[in-house]
Amino acid sequence: MHVMTIQWNAEYSVGDDHIDDHHREIFHLISSLDEAVRSNDRDRIDEMIKYLENYTLSHFQEEEEFMESVKFADIEYHKREHDIFKLRIRDLRTFYTNQAPNTHLIFQIRKFVDRLIDHIMTVDSKIAGHEGKA
Ligand SMILES: [Fe+2]
Ligand SMILES: [Fe+2]
C-alpha cells in the first residue's frame, strides 16, 4: 500500500475532534519527513523521533481513555497494537543513539509513520464503528 498520497478524511474519524486532530498531524508528518530527508540534518531526525516518542505516549493514552469512555468492545486488541508501536519507537531511539546512519534512520521512521497511518485507517477508525479503507 502506498500511503504517500492519502489524506485524512472524515471516514477515519473516531468521533472525537481532539483525537482526530492528532491523526491529521500524523498524515502531515510525511511531508516533514521529506523535508528532513532533503536537509539530511541529524537534529531534524532527532526532532522527529522525539515527536513520535511523545505521540506514542500521550496520544495512545488519550485514545485508550476515549475507548474506555465509549465502552469500545475491542479495546484489548487495540491496546496491544499500541504496545507494539511503543516497542518500535524504542527501537528507533536505540538506532539513533547507536549512531545508525541518517539514511537508515529515515527509512525506519518512514516505515513507522506508514504503519501508524495504516493503524489510523484500519484500527482507529473502528472506534467510531466504521471501517477504514486499507
Ligand atoms: Fe490513534
Ligand atoms: Fe490507536
* Amino acid present at 57: L
Domain span at residue 83 reads 24-128
**Is 61 within a domain?**
yes
**Is 108 within a domain?**
yes
**Is 4 within a domain?**
no
**Is 88 within a domain?**
yes
Query: What ligand is nearest to the CA atom of residue 85?
Result: 2
Q: What is the pLDDT of residues 71-128, one digit of tens each?
A: 999 999 999 999 999 999 999 999 999 999 999 999 999 999 999 999 999 999 999 8
pTM of the model: 0.87
What is the CATH number for 87? 1.20.120.50
**Is 11 within a domain?**
no
% of the chain at pLDDT higher than 70: 92
**Is 16 within a domain?**
no
- How many angstroms separate the alpha carbon of residue 121 from the centre of ligand 1? 9
**Is 14 within a domain?**
no
Query: What ligand is nearest to the CA atom of residue 27?
Result: 1
By the 10 Å C-beta count (0-12 exposed, 13-18 middle, 19+ buried), 56 is classed as: buried
**Is 87 within a domain?**
yes
- Per the structure, how many domains does the chain have? 1
C-beta separation of 25 from 113 below 8 A: no
Closest CA to 58 of 33, 21, 29: 21
